[in-house]
Amino acid sequence: MIERWSRDQVLALAPDASSQKGAQSVSTPAKWSAVGFMPDVLWGECKGSGASPYRACVDLGESAYRCNCPSRKFPCKHALGLLLLWSADGVPPADAMPPWVAEWLEQRRARAAKAAATSGPGDAGSPAEPVGAERRDAGSGDNAGADRRAAQREERVAAGLSELERWLADQIGQGLAGARQNAPAQWEELTRRLVDAQAPGVAGAVARLPRVLVEEDWPAHLLGEYGLLNLLAVGYRRAGELPSPLRETIRSRVGFPTSREEVLAGKTVRDQWDVLGRRDEEQDHLVSRRVWLRGRASARFALVLSFAPTGQALDASLVTGTAIDADLAFYPGASPLRALVADRRAGPPARPPSGCGAPAALAEVAAAIEGDPWLESWPVVLSDVIPARQADRWVLADSPPAPSPAAPSGSGVGVSSAPSASGGQSGGGGGADGVEGPVVEGIPLHPSTGQPWRLLAVSGGHPVTVAAEWTPRGLRPLTTWDQEGQVVVL
């Protein structure tokens, strides 16, 4: 039996704000007829503008959706409205499903069986072929043309990154004082050259440099970005001296792709994966969806990425706060994180994920950066933390220990007492009354988070579990679980 999703979990599936609003407008019982649910499927008929109602159903086991309305959004407002009605206990159980629902489920099973037969037995778990530089030696005969093109690209990339190294050396020699006036035009030209050199990953990194100039301490940040670019260029030049995982990381950062087939041909990791949260981001008319997972037995994190042009449907099969039993195939690298779902089964009951304190979470991030210095984000799960105020920033702080009976009544820690980014107490004046509290551990929130009112409301000053995305500028909270284990999407 699938556990009933919360209202937050349902609304988080909406492709945009207008879909959320539309779903709420059709989530009342008066809009629906012939509704019902069985352990893994939910269905109903929604009154629309036409003579016939729209038929919507949801496969709760694999989070798939169907509706015969003309909407191009996925899931549409009718599927979301039906889920909202179900989440509010407005859908009665049924002993049998309508024929149209049974037909849809049978078609899904047939497609899944056909896909499994096409992939061939043992494909998902077979040993991976060497990747990276070794892939260039795989061609022979009919692949001679592909080998020649691959070699030409390697030469172009090497030349482009060599030019980048010289340019960076010139910038450091000249100093950064005039970067705000002169660098943007140079970055634009350098980006074009790196695109021509077929190094799109490096070109993208250079194209994002202008955002550094708005930082308060922009010279230090720019120097750091230049250092990472130089490290990437040198790493590519000396790739033959590096371990294979690090070499794969560098090639990925430069822009060499690893095909889906190569990933799925590698070894897989089976686990029960908690769906921690997701974040959508739009750039250049393309929307990317990042869904974070964590294995219950392996304690391993995973990132499932999907992309779609603006206005088109993204993968909505992974629902925040649920869990799946799945085999994941990871992309190669020194700190492997991105993965594909190779095989999926009915998931276990949902529960809050296990987490750790702020110091342990930062240690996990440090280990990941050690393998991939160019990381821009990494998932963390913090347990028993409270949102707290530090000067002009919010942090997630470890819950302070209970005061001893002999402690003065004014020595407790209020929500305004918080640590510095490194985990120690910053200055005095811990509580709202200016009394300094005990030292606590915490991690600052990303400036874009603003005032975390929703997280504050869930916490109410009590410890909660929070899944977040670490970035160099702070945490982006994704999801929290209250003391009763209820999921709240942030």
> What tokens appear for 365 in the block?
């991030």
pLDDT at residue 418 is higher than 50: no
d(CA 482, CA 458): 6
312 versus 163: the higher-pLDDT residue is 163
Looking at per-residue pLDDT, the higher value among 413 and 149 belongs to 149
Extract long-range pairs of 59-67: CB within 8 Å, 24+ residues apart: 59/105, 59/108, 60/2, 61/2, 61/346, 61/347, 62/108, 62/317, 62/344, 63/316, 63/317, 63/318, 63/319, 63/322, 64/108, 64/317, 65/316, 66/104
* pLDDT tens column, 307-325: 888 877 788 889 999 999 9
Q: What is the pLDDT of residue 160?
A: 96
pLDDT digits (tens, 9 = 90+) for 105-158: 999 888 877 776 665 444 443 333 333 333 434 444 557 888 889 999 999 999
Distance, CA of 197 to CA of 153 (rounded, Å):
8
Say if residues 6 and 486 touch (Cβ distance below 8 Å): yes
pLDDT attached to residue 433: 36
| 130-134, 137-141, 186-190, 395-399: segment of lowest average pLDDT | 130-134
- Decide if pLDDT at 407 tops 60: no
Enter the tokens of residue 388.
Answer: 């707290």
How much is the average pLDDT of 165-182?
93
Residue 302 has pLDDT above 90, yes or no: yes
d(CA 351, CA 3): 10
What's the mean per-residue pLDDT of the chain? 86
pLDDT number for residue 403: 55
Average pLDDT (91-113) is 90
pLDDT at 429 over 90: no
282-298 pLDDT tens trace: 877 888 999 999 999 99
The two three-digit tokens of residue 174, written as one number: 């000249």
Cβ partners under 8 Å of residue 134, min gap 6: none
60-90 b/e (C-beta count within 10 Å ≥ 16 → b): bbbbbbbbebebebbbbbbbbbbbbbbbeee
Q: What is the structure's pLDDT at 422? A: 39
Rg (CA), the chain: 26
Give pTM, 2 decimals. Answer: 0.78
Task: Report the DSSP beta bridge partners of residue 397.
Answer: 386, 442
Q: What percent of the chain has pLDDT over 90?
A: 67
Residue 299, CB-side half-sphere exposure with 13 Å CA sphere = 7
Q: Which residues lie below 8 Å from residue 190, measured CB to CB, with a gap of 6+?
A: 164, 167, 206
Helices 218-237 and 244-254 pack at an angle, to 10 degrees, of 120
What mean pLDDT do residues 329-336 have? Answer: 96
How do residues 444-484 score in pLDDT, each as one tens digit?
999 999 899 999 999 999 999 999 999 999 999 999 998 88
Least Cα distance to 19 among 311, 454, 319, 317 occurs for 311
Sheet holding 64-67, edge to edge: 32-38, 41-46, 54-59, 64-67
Top-confidence residue, 115 or 176: 176
Helix, strand, or coil (residue 92) = coil
* Peptide bond between residue 92 and the one before it cis (omega within 30 degrees of 0): no
Give me the pLDDT at residue 414, please: 41
How many other CB atoms are there within 10 angstroms of residue 44's CB atom? Answer: 27
Of 94-103, 130-139, 427-436, the range with the highest mean pLDDT is 94-103
Q: Which residue has the higher pLDDT, 419 or 119?
A: 119
387 pLDDT above the threshold of 90: yes
pLDDT at position 303, please? Answer: 97
Q: How large is the average pLDDT for residues 371-389?
A: 95
